[in-house]
Structure 1
Amino acid sequence: MTFPTDRPATWFVTGTSRGLGLELVRQLLRRGDGVAATTRSSERLPAALGDDVDTARLLPLTVDLRDEEQVARAVGRTTERFGGLDVVMNNAGYGYLGAVEETTGQDVRDMLDVQVAGVWNVLRATLPVLREQRAGHIVNVSSVLGLTAVPGWALYCAGKFALEGLSEALAAEAADFGIDVTIVEPGYFRTDFLTRDSLALPAATTEHYPALREMVESYLALQGAQLGDPVKGAAAVIDRVVAGQGPLRLLLGSDAHAYATAKVRALQADLDANAATAPATDFPAAA
């Protein structure tokens, strides 16, 4: 995509009530861009942005991303208000801490409805606009836990792993239409992500995982001491979009880079261990 230079860009951003999404909207409005910002309660968004932000180019939208018709209407209102669409950022999501065994079926459906089905709803509504104009940029906010998994985060990782696969396939499909795709993979940022108000926790914690319960408490204790600065994180995302071409993945934070590096090394070790045995299941080569 060639980022607009003759007019402000138009962004459609989900999950803007707090954290990285809220800071991104704040910085975009200060740039003079147009922002359609979805939350579950748009009335609170202008106040959350602060008095020093001009909200004249803000379109706050209350949207349930699980509802395909609501999403489609929100995208329609965006293009009607701003006359087009340049950047789509899928940022909505929440954390979940709990063992696989104690994660209920409803927990699973709720998470995947937001982190996978909700993103798909946004993409189905926005891709026709971007494809028709043969330009645009899609930013899917994953996590370093979309690359590697740790105990207690199984459900969250499952959603982010799915988002990674979706995004990789989308990047190849969209390239022919001049649409860029970026997967953002943050580490732990100093937002309220690791608070009990933000995290979902199992209704009942099984007695069989005492070590995991201690780990949950350690994550909650990390709140306020995370390495990531959301102001710098939002700026990095904007810089990547403005620059245009770049790597598929944007890792944010030294902790994210360290986790990802460890995963690559572990994967390479598995590949090396299977190098000799993997071909054993092939049909014999034709004579």
Structure 2
Amino acid sequence: MSYPTTGPATWFVTGTSRGLGLELVRQLLDRGDNVAATTRSAHRLDEALGTADRSRLLPLQLDLTDGDAVTAAIRTATERFGAIDVVVNNAGYGFLGAVEEITDAEARQMFDVQIFGVWNVLRAVLPDLRAAGSGHIVNISSILGLTAFPGWGLYSAGKYALEGLSESLATEVAGLGIKVTIIEPGYTRTDFLRTSSLGLPERVAEGYDAIREMTEAHLAMPGTQLGDPVKVVAAIIEVAVGGKAPLHQLLGSDSYGLAKGRVAALTDDIEAGRELALSTDI
């Protein structure tokens, strides 16, 4: 059992000052659960929560790329609440630009947050979860962790890496009482597509007019996305409370449709290359 059957659960959630992370903190506090909420700006989180009851909240201003600081944050949360039951790796941001346009610094920054920050959290929390023989790790990916669009190469690269990490982790800890779920939302009405959460390349190259047009379309999209962030967060909580979700939990009709299309296209590729694939055995 990864979720307590009695008393409040304790959640460790990253990236909580806006978007799905902030909504998750709100709903968890309303439930009466304990929340250790990491953010790069504790002041922004405090302002965003408004009049919410903070008696079960532990705000942690934290740079997830600092492994020692992450370990200290996990220790602080454990000392405050006794144990961590659910870990939600949510911190992240979008990036729109052609592969050719991405600088080394932009690529490394994305992986620092999407992968190495997650890895720091996992390394810090897994010893305690193993010792307890329970726990649930929820990694927030995206439908772009299963498929890819032009202009989203950097973001998809990070999410594809997160998917691979999560799938390996799930098999490693399955016998230790620890569950892993990958959440793959579609377009959701948060500020993810606003410039506060969406990176753009420092320089642009000629010939990518379609990507420039798509960038403008995405920047104009906020307020029209299909996904309801309140319902998405309620679904994430249901995944942790119920403990019966599949490894890959899609959220949103757009995400579901795109995933089905990706499976069909991949199947077509596999079968198209079957003859050559089977010809290379010794």
TM-score (normalizing by structure 2): 0.98
Q: Which residue is 1:41 aligned to? A: 41
The DSSP-based 3-state class of the residue aligned with 1:227 is coil
Q: Provide the alpha-carbon RMSD of the alignment.
A: 0.8
Q: Which residue is 2:250 aligned to? A: 251
Does residue 1:221 correspond to 2:216, yes or no? no
Q: Can you list the C-alpha shifts for 1:88-114, whole angstroms capped at 9, x where unaligned? A: 000000000000001000000000010
Find the aligned partners of 2:195 and 2:81 in 1 and give their Cα distance. Answer: 37
Find the aligned partners of 2:251 and 2:49 in 1 and give their Cα distance. Answer: 23
Matches within 5 A, 1:207-286: 207-283=206-282
Q: Is the 8 A contact 1:43 1:60 kept in 2?
A: no
Q: Is the 8 A contact 2:2 2:136 kept in 1?
A: no
The DSSP-based 3-state class of the residue aligned with 1:281 is coil
Find the aligned partners of 1:260 and 1:86 in 2 and give their Cα distance. Answer: 30
Q: Can you list the C-alpha shifts for 1:235-261, whole angstroms capped at 9, x where unaligned? A: 000011100122111111001011111
Find the aligned partners of 2:74 and 2:120 in 1 and give their Cα distance. Answer: 11
Q: Which residue is 1:98 aligned to? A: 97
> Which runs of 5 or more structure 2 residues have no equivalent in the other structure?
none
Find the aligned partners of 2:271 and 2:14 in 1 and give their Cα distance. Answer: 41
- Look up the equivalent residue of 2:258 and give its one-letter code: Y
Matches within 5 A, 1:13-52: 13-51=13-51
Q: Which residue is 1:170 aligned to? A: 169
Q: Is the 8 A contact 1:102 1:204 kept in 2?
A: yes
Find the aligned partners of 2:183 and 2:162 in 1 and give their Cα distance. Answer: 11
The DSSP-based 3-state class of the residue aligned with 2:198 is coil
Shift of the alpha carbon at 1:220?
1.0
- Spell out structure 1 runs of 4+ moving beyond 4 A: none
Shift of the alpha carbon at 1:208?
1.9
Shift of the alpha carbon at 1:2?
4.0
Shift of the alpha carbon at 1:84?
0.6
Q: Which residue is 1:3 aligned to? A: 3
Q: Is the 8 A contact 2:187 2:225 kept in 1?
A: yes
Q: Is the 8 A contact 1:180 1:245 kept in 2?
A: no
Find the aligned partners of 1:221 and 1:257 in 2 and give their Cα distance. Answer: 23
Which stretch shifts more, 119-128 or 41-50? Answer: 41-50
Shift of the alpha carbon at 1:45?
1.3
Find the aligned partners of 1:135 and 1:155 in 2 and give their Cα distance. Answer: 34
Number of matched pairs:
282
Q: How many percent identity over aligned positions?
A: 62
Shift of the alpha carbon at 1:44?
2.4
The DSSP-based 3-state class of the residue aligned with 2:165 is helix
Shift of the alpha carbon at 1:279?
1.3
Find the aligned partners of 1:215 and 1:47 in 2 and give their Cα distance. Answer: 33
TM-score (normalizing by structure 1): 0.97
Does residue 1:107 correspond to 2:111, yes or no? no
Shift of the alpha carbon at 1:142?
0.3
Which stretch shifts more, 243-252 or 61-70? Answer: 243-252
Q: Which residue is 2:12 aligned to? A: 12
- Look up the equivalent residue of 1:15 and give its one-letter code: G
The DSSP-based 3-state class of the residue aligned with 2:80 is helix
> Which runs of 5 or more structure 1 residues have no equivalent in the other structure?
none
Q: Can you list the C-alpha shifts for 1:142-193, whole angstroms capped at 9, x where unaligned? A: 0000000000000000000000000000000011110000000010100011
Shift of the alpha carbon at 1:277?
2.0
Shift of the alpha carbon at 1:207?
2.1
The DSSP-based 3-state class of the residue aligned with 2:206 is coil
Q: Which residue is 2:85 aligned to? A: 86
The DSSP-based 3-state class of the residue aligned with 1:276 is helix
Which stretch shifts more, 215-224 or 143-152? Answer: 215-224
Find the aligned partners of 1:204 and 1:68 in 2 and give their Cα distance. Answer: 31
Q: Which residue is 1:199 aligned to? A: 198
